[in-house]
Structure 1
C-alpha cells in the first residue's frame, strides 16, 4: 500500500512451490517460514522503489523470486489481487478499505492514527503470531474427456484453480494440514503412499520419504524410484506401471491399486523421458483424481507436508476464530 511518500506492506507471502507454478495455484504461507528478516527487508525496499517509480496510489502486488541471494522481480501489478482478502483475514486488517482511503487522498500516517492500520506493517509480525496457509482449490474432478478420463492434475504457469481455502494455526505443519483438509485432500493418519518421480527429483526425495516411513506409512514405488529408496535403507515395495507387464512386479498395476482404494497418497512428478513415461504419469494422476486421494506433484510440496503428516497423527486440531487470532496478534504488537 503506497501513498506517494510511504510504503505499508500488508503482508509477505512465501510460495511453497518454486517459481514456474502460477501464483494462483501455489500454496502460500504468511508470514514466510524460511525467509530471514534481512531477506524480508530487501523485499520491502525493492517494493518501495517499484511503487515509487510507477507512481502507485493504493495497492500494488509484487512477485519476487530469490535464487542464490539474487532477488528477481517476476511481475508487479499496480492493483489489488486475489491475495488481498487472504492477507486481510490472516492479519485482521482491512486492506481494501485502507487502499480506498489512500486513493482519495489519505496518507498512511492518517490511517495508522485513525486506527485503520496497525503501527507496524506486515514485515514485522510477532513470532507468536499464527501461521496462515493459502491453498488452491483445483477443479480436476469436474472436468473429463468424452470417454470419462479426467484432466491432468499437473501444475504449471497457467492458472487452473477455481478457488482458495485458508488454514490457520500456531505452527506451519498444523496450518498446512488444515489447508489440505479444507481443499478436499485431507492427509491420512496411516496407510499407503505411492511414489514415482522423475530422475531429477530423486535426490531430494530421500529425506521426506524416510520420515514418512518412520511415521509408519507403507511405501510403494515404481521400479526406478524403489531401487533408489531401498538402496538408502528405506523399505519400498515395487509395483508396476500401467504400461509394464508382470516381469517388473507381480500383482496389479499401480493404476489398478489406486482405483481399488489400496493407495492413500500419491507422489508423482512429471517425467519428460519419452512418451511412455509421460503417459504412465498421466494415468497415475488421473486415477488419483478419480479416487479422491491426496496427490503431490512437486517435491517442494511434499517436503512442506511432512510435518503436517505428523500433525494429523498427533491430532485432533484445535479451532479458533479469525477474530480471536486477530486479537492475539494485536495484543502481541501492543
Structure 2
C-alpha cells in the first residue's frame, strides 16, 4: 500500500547523552530514520539532548532542538511545532519512556499527535514484566517462574521462597532490589526463577501492517545468562541450535510480536535455552530499535532503522527494495554465508573505583565487530581489533594453579581475568572443567551450521564471572527491563 498521506511533520526523539548501555548505536539508528523520512518528503523535527551526535547535524533534520529530554520540554516543542506524528522507537529506552509519559500526561491527545512505530499498549505490554508474562502464557510460551515485588520487603519475602538468583547473599540481593525499584518506571521488579548458565539467544525481527514477518538476524551469546549481552561476546548467526530448535524459536518470535502488538517496525526478542533438557523460555522483548539492531544491520547489510521508519509510514515489506541486492524486496530474509563476532571492550583503567564484576548491568564502553568464514577467523580478527597489543593468539599461556577437578582461579569475577582464563587450555586444564564451571557451551549440534563452527570449545574460552551454582532453588532479580538498554 502507498504511504500514509495524513503525515507531513514527524517528531523524532533521540536517545540523549551517550552513557554506558545507551551509546552511539542509537545515534546510528536515529540518523538512518531521519534520512529515510526526509527522503519520503516529510518534515523532520528532532529533539535530542546530546549535541555531539551525527543525528543533530543540521543537514539531517529540518529543525533540531538540543534540549533536555523531559516531559515539560518535549511538550513545549510539540505545542510549538505541532507535528502530525511522534516516532519514539529509534531513541532507545529514553524514547519509549518519554512517549509513555507524553501519552499519560495527555499531550499527544491534546495536540492530536499520532504515535507511529509502536503503540502505547505494545510498549506497556513489553515493558511491564507482569503484563508480558501473562501475554506469553496466553500464547502458550514458557517464561521463568516469578513473583512481582513493589517494595523491598516484598522482594525479600519472595527471595525466601524463590531464592536469591544472581545475588549471592542477602546484602547483594537488597542492593539489586533497591536499584531495580529505583530504575523501574512503574516501581516494580520481578524476582524470577534462575536461568543463570542457560544459553542466551536473540532474534531481530520485523513486522508490517499486512502481518508480513521476517527474521533479520539471529544472534547467540557466547556468555550464558547472567552477563549482560552488551558485556558478552556474541555471534551471528546462531551456531549451536539444530534447525528444529531454531524454527521453534522463530515461530515463537512471530507469535510474540503479534501478541504484544507491534504492527510496524522492528523488535528484539531474547530467549534462554537450558542446555541440559532443551527447555526454552522467553526472557524479554524490546519493541524498538535496539543495540543489537545496529549489530544486525551491519552484519547482514539490512538497514533496520531505515526500514522501520518506512514501515511506520504505512509501507509494506514487499514494497521496500533491498538496498544491497536492488532486486529483491525487504520481505526476503537476509542470509549470510559468513560468521560475525562482536567482542566488548572495557576501559576500567579510567574508572579505578568501579566494580569490575560483570553482571546483568552493562559495563563495557565499546565493542568491535569482525567478519570471517569461520568462527575462529572472525574471533581472531575481533581480538586484533581490540587494541590489546595482541596480534597472534588471543592471550599467551599463563601459569595456572592446578587443583582438585581442574584449574583453580577459574572463578574469575571480572574482565581482567578473561586474558588468563582463555589461556587455560594451553595451561593444561580440561575443557570439560572449564565448561562446567563457566557454562560456556561450545558444542555445535546443528549439521546445517557445522561447517561454519568446527571449533573446539576451548577456542571460545572461559569467561569471567562468578561460578554457576548448580542445584537448589535460585531466582534472578530482573529490575523491570526497561532499565536495560539493549
TM-score, normalised by the number of residues in structure 2: 0.41
Q: Would the aligned equivalents of 1:177 and 1:308 in 2 still touch at CA under 8 Å?
A: no
Which residue of 279, 303, 309 maps to 1:70? 279
Which residue of 358, 375, 380 maps to 1:177? 380
Q: Deviations over 1:276-326 (max 9, x none)?
A: xxxxx77xx76x69xxx56559845696773479xxxxxxxxxxxxxxxxx
2:336 equivalent to 1:99: no
- What is the DSSP-based 3-state SS (H/G/I as helix, E as strand, rest coil) of the residue aligned with 2:254? helix
Deviation at 1:180, TM superposition (A): 2.0
1:139-178 alignment to 2 at 5 Å?
139-145=347-353, 151-178=354-381
2:390 equivalent to 1:193: no
2:120 equivalent to 1:120: no
Deviation at 1:184, TM superposition (A): 3.4
TM-score, normalised by the number of residues in structure 1: 0.58
Q: Which one has a larger percent helix, Structure 1 or Structure 2?
A: 1
Deviation at 1:36, TM superposition (A): 1.6
Q: Which residue of 1 aligns with 2:212?
A: 6
Deviation at 1:152, TM superposition (A): 4.8
- Residues 182, 96 of structure 1: CA spacing in aligned structure 2 closer, same or farther, 3 A cutoff? same
Q: Which residue of 2 aligns with 1:130?
A: 338
Q: Would the aligned equivalents of 1:98 and 1:117 in 2 still touch at CA under 8 Å?
A: no
Q: Deviations over 1:188-216 (max 9, x none)?
A: 5498534xxxxxxxxxxxxxxxxxxxxxx
1:1-334 alignment to 2 at 5 Å?
1-4=206-209, 5-56=211-262, 57-67=264-274, 68-111=277-320, 115=327, 117=329, 120-122=332-334, 125=335, 129-145=337-353, 151-185=354-388, 186=390, 188-189=392-393, 192-194=396-398, 220-224=399-403, 227-229=404-406, 268-270=410-412, 296=422, 299=438, 306-307=458-459
Question: 1: distance between equivalents of 2:358 and 2:226?
Answer: 9
Which consecutive unaligned segments of at least 5 residues does structure 2 have?
A: 1-205, 423-433, 443-455, 462-486
- Residues 120, 307 of structure 1: CA spacing in aligned structure 2 closer, same or farther, 3 A cutoff? farther
Q: What is the number of residues matched between the two proteins?
A: 222
Question: 1: distance between equivalents of 2:330 and 2:224?
Answer: 31
Q: Would the aligned equivalents of 2:319 and 2:330 in 1 still touch at CA under 8 Å?
A: no
Deviation at 1:104, TM superposition (A): 0.7
- Residues 107, 191 of structure 1: CA spacing in aligned structure 2 closer, same or farther, 3 A cutoff? closer
Question: 2: distance between equivalents of 1:49 and 1:295?
Answer: 40
Q: Would the aligned equivalents of 1:136 and 1:161 in 2 still touch at CA under 8 Å?
A: yes
**Which of 293-302 and 151-160 deviates more?**
293-302
Q: Supply the RMSD in Å over aligned alpha carbons.
A: 3.2
Question: 1: distance between equivalents of 2:401 and 2:357?
Answer: 19
Question: 2: distance between equivalents of 1:223 and 1:12?
Answer: 38
Deviation at 1:183, TM superposition (A): 2.4
